[in-house]
Amino acid sequence: MSWSSSNYLCISSSSSSSVISSNELARFDRCRLACESEGHRGKCQDLNRPTNIFAYNSLKPPSFKFDKGQRRKDHVLKKPRNISAYYSLKPPSYKFDALEPYMSKRTLEVHWGKHHRGYVESLNKYLEKDDILYGYTLDELIRVTYNNGNPLPEFNAAAQVWNHDFFWESMQPGGGNLPILGLLQQIEKDFGSFSSFREEFIETALTLFGSGWVWLVLKRNEKRLAITTTTNAVTPLVWDDIPLLSLDMWEHAYYLDYKNDKARYANVFMDHLVSWNAALARMARAQTFVNLGEPKILVA
């Protein structure tokens, strides 16, 4: 039972009439220390007393009385604490002011501290209601709650938690510049050149209607990179594609810094924020699932 560990059953000293042995005293002291550390203020009570069996098994504070002067206090036996943190809010791996002046500290504070946190809390609240969705990893939970296009109410929260985690990791201080190694090769192969990829990415970001995300994905079936957009909380995971980078085009992501100037935001992202290291690592991992062809091995 989970509550027994969090819910220390304080054991009492015996009734006032008997002598307390030294053993018992030690146990009593240990109990008292444990009670205090848990924040209980109740008396420690002896588990060996027969009437305690009711106390041990019930979830309600027992209503029986002991000997005169030893009335059990209600708060000795508490109800089990509700588990309400299935998924946690993960902070970005850089400080909030590390992305200045391209993404202000204020934006990080509000975007992560209020929006992202809000999604985590609402996800946990949904899961608290009923355990049918308990036990999935976040990826699996997104796929399950997407329900093939007919999303359950938990989908929005779950997907946005994942999306934001992914987004923070898609950026780094001192980001921008060019991708390197295999990722650059693949981009040149699928888009012609890096600059035409960059142009297409920004163009896609600017023509997105409403709230959504722009992604660089590795398409599993077509075995190539592509730029896709999704609306609201949807993520390419639901189509089984492997995302490598994302750009949050919800207004809350850029409004404090750029007001309605989406073009500047998208350009700044590409020039100064995007983490090609993260994208490279993700692509390397993706290649365990998608065969992009044999590497070119030069023969002497």
Partner 1 sequence: MALRTLATRKTLGALSRFPQQLRGLQTFTLPDLPYDYGALEPAISGDIMQLHHQKHHQTYITNYNKALEQLDDAIAKGDASTAVKLQSAIKFNGGGHVNHSIFWKNLAPTKEGGGEPPHGSLGWAIDQSYGSVGKLIAKMNAEGAAVQGSGWVWLAVDKELKRLVVETTANQDPLVTKGPSLVPLIGIDVWEHAYYLQYKNVRPDYLKSIWKVINWKYVSEIYEKECP
Q: How far is the CB of 148 from partner 1 (least distance, A)?
A: 18
Strand (E) or helix (H) holding 105: helix 105-110
3-class secondary-structure state, position 178:
coil
Using CB under 8 A as the binding rule, whether residue 256 contacts partner 1 is answered as yes
Angle between helices 181-191 and 276-286 (to 10 degrees): 80
Residues 194-223 that bind partner 1 (CB under 8 A): 209-212
Q: How far is the CB of 111 from partner 1 (least distance, A)?
A: 9
Q: How far is the CB of 242 from partner 1 (least distance, A)?
A: 24
> Residue 13, by phi and psi: left (phi above 0), alpha (psi -120 to 50) or beta?
beta
- Considering only the C-alpha atoms of the chain, give the largest distance between any 2 of them, rounded to a whole number of Å: 96
- Which range touches partner 1 (CB under 8 A), out of 92-100, 215-223, 251-259, 273-281? 251-259
3-class secondary-structure state, position 132:
helix
- Which range touches partner 1 (CB under 8 A), out of 16-24, 139-147, 250-258, 275-283? 250-258
Using CB under 8 A as the binding rule, whether residue 123 contacts partner 1 is answered as no
Between CA 176 and CA 276 the distance in angstroms is 7
Between CA 185 and CA 293 the distance in angstroms is 12
Q: Edge-to-edge strands of the sheet including 242-248?
A: 224-231, 212-219, 242-248
Using CB under 8 A as the binding rule, whether residue 48 contacts partner 1 is answered as no
Mark 50-89 with x for binding to partner 1 (rule: CB under 8 A) and - for no binding: ----------------------------------------
Among 229, 232, 277, 287, binds partner 1 (CB under 8 A): 232
Residues at the site binding partner 1, with contacts judged by CB under 8 A: 110, 114-115, 118, 156, 209-212, 231-233, 250-252, 255-256, 259-260
